[in-house]
């Protein structure tokens, strides 16, 4: 049968299919966005979206290495540049340590040869979290979307739902209990033999314990109808928030056990290096990346493509 998706808005303030934050679009509007395929391929768009990140990472390292010898000063400069790009202290130290050992083991003398080694090292970090979302095998496959306000969570839901067909919506009156809305949505999905159910939750700050407790309640309610639900707990994080995204991932993971991450707003930020920090510290699969506002700008994450785009030399 045709794939279907069911979107349920679970919010304590207003249980409707509207974004919890003003800057996010309703699902219906997103689905009506321009869908005409662009002549520019996704890889080219990815390269373009990473231009600011590339200033400190990837091809931005070329000027750092050119004509230099491999010594402590070079590694110190590299460390500083990684930190500026929001790769994070722990991940940066790990990269520097591995590069130092690798350069010594391979007896590298030319700093430009270190460029390839760095690309390989950073590629290995992302390869560990390159795992596409697979919604087969469970009916309905329940995706619980979580995240703070303004990260593009509801927009992401609209784009995800557009990948499926025929999207009915389950909503209740303002003030309805969020867990009960999702309970009704799962029942409706089972009754209608729906393939995929996407449950939207109101944005919440990761340091608000009572809101995080509500997420735990939602998960408990889901398990009353399906002990394996939710089959995916996906955190949406905004790449432009830098290391704050790491804090979000940590606390949401502790609260509800994340199984996937979508990284949005990679276009237009110089802080895209946070993807390495998140990948290295948590090992949670990165399912999707967002590199623009178009529906087609949300794509399954592919580590090789990302690294190639990041390290691609500009003509």
> What's residue 65's pLDDT?
86
Give the whole-angstrom CA distance, residue 49 versus residue 272: 10
Among 65, 96, 67, 59, residue whose Cα is nearest residue 80: 96
**What is the pTM (predicted TM-score) of this model?**
0.84
DSSP 193: T
Assess contact for 178 and 201: CB atoms under 8 A. yes
| pLDDT of 31 | 43
Query: Under a CB-based contact definition with an 8 Å cutoff, are residues 142 and 222 in contact?
Result: yes
**What CATH number has the domain spanning 54-127?**
1.20.120.140
pLDDT of residue 169: 67
CATH tag, 5-33+132-311: 3.40.50.300
Task: With CA atoms as reference, report the closest residue to 254 among 206, 222, 287, 211.
Answer: 206
Can you give the three-state secondary structure of 73-138, one letter per residue? HHHHHHHHHHHHCCCCHHHHHHHHHHHHHHHHHCCCCEHHHHHHHHHHHHHHHHHCCCCCCCCCCC
| Cβ neighbours around 5 below 10 Å, total | 26
Query: If residue 67 lies in a helix (H) or strand (E), which one and from where to where?
Result: none
List average pLDDT for each run of 10 residues in the chain, which is 315 residues long. Answer: 46 31 43 46 82 82 85 93 94 96 86 89 98 93 94 91 72 73 91 91 73 90 94 96 94 95 91 95 97 90 95 74
Residue 173 is predicted with a pLDDT of: 64
Where does CATH 3.40.50.300 sit in the chain? 5-33+132-311
Q: In what order do the strands lie in the sheet with 298-300?
A: 169-170, 5-10, 196-201, 141-146, 232-238, 260-264, 286-290, 298-300
> What pLDDT, in 10s, does the model give residues 272-295?
999 999 999 999 999 999 998 888
What integer pLDDT is reported at residue 32 of this predicted model?
45
Q: What is the largest CA-CA distance in the chain?
A: 68
CATH 1.20.120.140 domain extents, the chain: 54-127
68 burial level (CB within 10 Å; 0-12, 13-18, 19+): middle
Instruction: Report whether the peptide linkage leading into residue 263 is cis, meaning its omega lies within 30 degrees of zero.
Output: no
Helices (H), the chain: 27-31, 42-49, 51-54, 62-65, 72-84, 89-105, 111-127, 153-162, 178-192, 209-225, 244-256, 274-282, 303-311
Q: What is the pLDDT of residue 175?
A: 65
Could you tell me if 156 and 290 are in contact, meaning their C-beta atoms sit under 8 angstroms apart?
yes
pLDDT at 49: 84
């Amino acid at each position: 049968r045709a794939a279907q998706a069911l979107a349920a808005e679970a919010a304590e303030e207003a249980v409707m299919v509207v974004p919890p934050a003003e800057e996010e679009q309703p699902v219906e509007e997103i689905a009506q966005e321009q869908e005409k395929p662009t002549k520019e391929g996704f890889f080219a768009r990815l390269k373009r979206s990473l231009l600011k990140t590339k200033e400190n990472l990837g091809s931005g390292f070329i000027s750092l290495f050119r004509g230099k010898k491999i010594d402590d000063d070079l590694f110190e400069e590299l460390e500083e540049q990684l930190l500026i790009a929001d790769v994070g202290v722990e991940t940066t130290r790990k990269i520097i340590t591995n590069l130092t050992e690798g350069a010594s083991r391979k007896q590298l003398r030319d700093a430009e040869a270190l460029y390839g080694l760095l690309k390989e090292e950073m590629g290995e970090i992302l390869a560990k979290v390159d795992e596409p979302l697979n919604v087969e095998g469970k009916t309905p496959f329940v995706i619980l979307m979580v995240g703070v306000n303004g990260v593009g969570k509801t927009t992401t839901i609209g784009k995800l739902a557009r990948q499926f067909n025929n999207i009915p919506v389950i909503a209740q009156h303002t003030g309805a209990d969020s867990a009960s809305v999702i309970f009704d949505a799962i029942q409706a999905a089972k009754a209608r033999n729906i393939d995929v159910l996407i449950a939207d939750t109101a944005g919440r700050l990761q340091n608000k314990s009572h809101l995080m407790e509500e997420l735990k309640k939602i998960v408990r309610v889901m398990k009353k109808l399906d002990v394996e639900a939710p089959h995916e707990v996906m955190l949406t994080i905004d790449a432009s928030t830098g290391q704050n995204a790491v804090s979000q991932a940590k606390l949401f993971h502790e609260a509800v056990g994340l199984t996937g991450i979508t990284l949005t707003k990679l276009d237009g930020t110089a802080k895209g290096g946070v993807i390495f920090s998140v990948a290295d510290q948590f090992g949670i699969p990165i399912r999707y990346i967002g590199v623009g506002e178009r529906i087609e700008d949300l794509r399954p994450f592919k580590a090789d493509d990302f690294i190639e785009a990041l390290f691609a030399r500009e003509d």
